Amino acid sequence: MASAGLRKELECSVCLSLYTDPVTLKCGHNFCRGCIDQVLNTQKGSRVYSCPECRAKFQKRPQLKKNITLCNVVENFLSTQPNHEEITGIHCTYCVDSAVPAVKSCLLCEASLCANHLSVHSKSAEHVLSEPRTNLVSRKCSVHRRILEYYCTEDAICICVSCSLAGEHRGHRVEMLDEASEKKKKKLKNILPKLITQKAETEERVRSLEERRRKAPEKTSGEVERVTALFIDIRRRLDDLEKRVLSEISRREEQMSLSLPDVIQKLELKKDELSRKMKHIEELCNMTDPLNVLQEANTDSIVQNTKAPFIGPGYVGYRRGRSLGSPHVYEKLKGRRDPRLI
């Protein structure tokens, strides 16, 4: 367990493998030289460099300083691993009485071997030994039951020698597993820096949105206060305007109430006078003597007075006033627009 914990501390956060030529950034984090070079190359276009681990930013491309101490620790760790007694957790298949750590696995026999059983195991080339591993069946061809040694690049599948020489992959381009694996690792390592950059951008976006969400209540509260104050002021202005308009209506009503009786009285007098004149005219019209009709002295004044009908001054003033419900008043109110509503 102690070895497993140490191994975790010796893994590069970019490639997730043990450090290779470890170097240190100014922020104190360590990376494989090749891994951090690839990451910094992808950041060149942004003109700002950052640590893949802590996101510390650098205006210029940071210098890489070799971590000699860490390099020695990795080498010492690797020198202690051949026995695999602490890190694999795989035990010898043939030690049935006790759990003895395995040091190798035979792919042909599909068995894991401790040091004692390995010494008596067949040395034939067919018995391919590998590091201790589980699920050995998956490393054999399901058709020919032979060890998977090659990789068919055309079908992207691991095959055995029989598949390559006489099976369905005959004539296809094949590579050794180690060679194909290294090529795939290289492609993956080229992709990894891009993913790291995308992850950093995503994290930055998340932080920005979290900041906006944190400030949203404060901003909303300020807007609510401003809108509330605005509408309080609008209601106050409307109340004041309503009071003034109602007061003006009451004033005009009172003025009309005071002036109309005089106008009505004058019109009643005028009506009586007109009735008398009408009666006099009817009498003249009923006369049979032309001389009497023509000699009547008041005839011309009666005709002149009927041409200009009498209208009292108070009544004239009232009719010429503007109604509060007229379009003129509406346009005047509409023009008093509060600039805060624009």
Q: What are 123-136's pLDDT values in tens digits?
A: 776 677 777 776 66
Average pLDDT, the chain: 80
Higher per-residue pLDDT: 173 or 84: 173
**What is the spatial distance between Cα 96 and Cα 305, in angstroms, rounded to a whole number?**
145
Give the per-residue SS3 of 114-171.
CHHHHHCCCCCCCCCEECCCCCHHHHECCCCCCECCEEECCCCEEECHHHHHCCCCCC
Show me where the domains of the chain are located.
Answer: 1-81, 183-341
Q: And the tokens for 294?
A: 């023509």
Per-residue confidence band for 319, with pLDDT thresholds at 50, 70 and 90: very low
pLDDT in tens, 261-303: 888 899 999 999 999 989 988 888 888 888 887 877 566 666 5
**What is the spatial distance between Cα 63 and Cα 59, in angstroms, rounded to a whole number?**
12
Give the pLDDT confidence score for residue 46 in this predicted structure: 76
Q: Of the ranges 83-87, 118-122, 143-147, 198-202, which is most confident? A: 198-202
Per-residue confidence band for 228, with pLDDT thresholds at 50, 70 and 90: very high
Q: Which residues of 87-124 are buried (b: 16+ CB within 10 A; e: fewer)?
A: bbebebbbbeeeebbbbbbbbbbebbbbeebbeebeee
The pTM assigned to this predicted structure is 0.38
Residues paired with 101 in a beta bridge: 91
Second-level CATH architecture of 1-81: 2-Layer Sandwich (3.30)
For range 35-40, the mean pLDDT: 85
pLDDT at 82 over 80: no
**What is the spatial distance between Cα 172 and Cα 150, in angstroms, rounded to a whole number?**
11
Q: Which of 43-57, 106-120, 133-147 has the lowest mean pLDDT?
A: 133-147
pLDDT in tens, 160-211: 888 888 888 888 889 988 899 899 888 888 898 888 888 889 999 999 999 9
Give the pLDDT confidence score for residue 210 in this predicted structure: 92
